[in-house]
A and B are shown apart, each in its own frame.
Chain A
Amino acid sequence: MTIITRPRDEAADSEVPTGQAAHHMDMNPIDLGRIEALQVLDEHGNINQARDPGLNDSELLAVHRAMVLTRAFDSRMLTMQRQGEMGTFAPNLGQEACMIGQVWELTKQDWFSPSYRSFGAQIQRGWPMERLFLLWSGYHQGFPPPEGVNDMPFSIVIGSHVLPAVGIAMGMRRRDDNDCVVVNFGDGAMSQGAVSEAFNFAMVDRAPVIFVCENNGWAISTPTKLQYATDHLAGRGVAFGLSSIRVDGNDILGMIAAMREATRRARDGEGPTFVEAVTYRMSLHTTADDPTVYRDSAESEPWESRCPIIRFQRYLEGRGLLSKDGAEKVRSEADAEVLEARERFRKIAKARPREVFDHLYKVTPSELEDQRNEYLSRLDRKGVD
């Protein structure tokens, strides 16, 4: 496992005179150069044995199913959105290996704090799909994390969830728990000051948190070259003293290998890790977005062949674990599972305008009760129940 740590030029160090000013400054700028991304499975489905995380057959098939389910859910969401049943949402297409890989190693006790482009990971963490449908179609009932799932509600405000995730990890370290926190965000989020603050707090406190940046090349219409001026984001982790790694985010085994090491470090008290997962947003930013305005299809095309699911299927086929028909069966079962969830969603989806004052405070102040009563009589007048 190549975890990049802060490079140190020992020779240069020893030349720095102590206690007396140098005659002239030797600028000797630090150059991290290019940082290769960890890859376990290449685009053709060939494996690098030395770095294989060694999942057993049933685990491999479960990982595959989870990625296929992510895609099935994603495409159903898009259909529902286009038919007016869903609100604006951010598709996961092409990022399925990031979705599943970043949470695969987590236990029920661990915590996960996702951004808005995370439903694949949320399903894997135990969110019923009908709840995610509820949430994205504008029902408050979709937001509370299910009992037994230690997840924060997803964050829409870019970067604002990262510091609280570090805080949870700071709490864990103080309680001597062996758990850890995974928090994810995009390449754009890396520009928010709060994310840099989070890196620093985590490192200073040696908090068991894993920062996963899904670098998908774009923040809405803003390409990474306008977002930051370096070749990679992993180096930013290094600058804060974090163990940092760059990984091929379309390689599920690479993601799992990186997360395995990162979670081990967190559990063993070795502190935080930064994982830059290099991937690509194959679809729209959100359903309100039109990428044809700002990006060439020529840019996206090479990524088709890097599809995380196809690549993994090739590998499973090579191992004799999955046939073409078998893959088709997994897909149709995933579709059916999503459709069943949609039926459950349709049964429970009901706006509850009478409850909008609930849960703001533990105990509603009496002044606010007056407002609630005023609001309720307005609903009565409109015949809304």
Chain B
Amino acid sequence: MPQKTMVEALNLALDEAMSADESVLIMGQDVGVNGGVFRVTKGLHEQYGRDRVMDTPLAECGIIGTAVGMAVYGLKPVVEIQFSGFTMQAFDQIEQNMARLHNRTMGRFPMRMVLRTPYGGGIRAVEHHSESRETYWAHTPGLKVVIPSGPRNARALLAAAIDDPDPVIFYEPKAVYRAFREDVPEERETLPIGTSQVVREGKDLTLISYGAMMRPAREAMEDLIDEHGIDIELIDLLTISPMDGETLCKSVAKTGRCVIVHEGHRTCGIASEIIARINEGAFEYLEAPIKRLTGYDIPFPYFQTEQYFLPDADDIIESVRETMAWE
């Protein structure tokens, strides 16, 4: 199996979707000759031409708004917003049209579109380039929100997102883009949207994370197993919305303890929703309060101090041990 970075794996998924279906097209800033600022669309412009790989004017609201129109007309736009911080410019079109048109027309118009965008910190970026505001979209009825954590699941989930009949927000952890390579099968592969993955089964504590935070979560898991004898069950959320509460509750019903890790701000963050689900579905099995290790409720710090804002493996180990010690 060829080894690929997440950038290469996403490029592969786009290429496969475009060659299989003429109605799939890409729009975004600098996605053409430049191949996107992270090179995810590299080479596609040459292969599919300007009408299917469109360098747009610099207007996020314009990009999403016109993509919505194309989707209504039956095309399948896969839109790139250069950084997730700039989806704010398109809030209007995402909220008012992308998320609602299917509902307003009682299903008369399709809304098959994907909004891809890199999110998250850890690359020493300037302001507005490190946000994790997936909560906004999870809070918006009508959208699906997907966040892969590695090259292989990124390719499979993007393929599924493009196949999906409903609009999908696809957050790409930019800190993972080129961080490591992974085997990615040659034959096309998809993963179901709406299903979380149990990465490792364990009986002592359920550790839940997604996206870029899966890396420190795995690191912490290994240390916790080897050094502390704590048998971790690790879950990669993969889809934020609709949330796979069943997998989460089943796990916690078995372990009785749970720690959730994400970069996004704490208040009304994804962990809040996970805790609510577990409260509803596995409360009687809980042996300790569920712990959330998240970004704080402050703007993402300037990059000299970002490392202290982001949870790392040590912080996760600490949180897990605290939760294990609770009686």
Contacts and interface: CB of A to CB of B under 8 A. Distances in A.
Interface string B286-327: 000000000011110111111011000011001000000000
A368 B308 CA distance: 17
Nearest to A286: B126
Contacts of A228: 57
Contact of B128 (A156, A191, A289, A293): A156
A296 to B, nearest CB: 11
Contact of A288 (B37, B57, B85): B37
Contacts of B61: 192-193
Contacts, number: 112
B62 interface: yes
Interface string A131-171: 00000111110010000000000001111100000000000
Contacts of B301: 140, 353, 356
A382 B89 CA distance: 38
Interface in A192-220: 192-194, 219-220
A76 interface: no
B62 A294 contact: no
A227 B62 CA distance: 12
Given A138-B302, A356-B298, A356-B305, A221 B55 contact: yes
Q: Tell me the dominant secondary structure on chain B's binding face.
A: loop
Contacts of A89: 126
Contacts of B128: 156-157
A384 B308 contact: yes
B127 interface: yes
A188 interface: yes
Contacts of B29: 219-220, 222
Nearest to B31: A221
A191 B62 contact: yes
Interface in B59-76: 59, 61-62
Contacts of A156: 126-129
A67 B224 CA distance: 58
Interface string A305-316: 000000000000
A353 B32 contact: no
10 contacts: A157-B85, A157-B88, A189-B58, A220-B34, A222-B58, A352-B305, A356-B298, A356-B309, A371-B297, A382-B308
Instruction: Give 6 closest A-B pairs by Cβ, nearest first.
Output: A221-B34, A138-B303, A188-B58, A191-B57, A351-B304, A138-B304
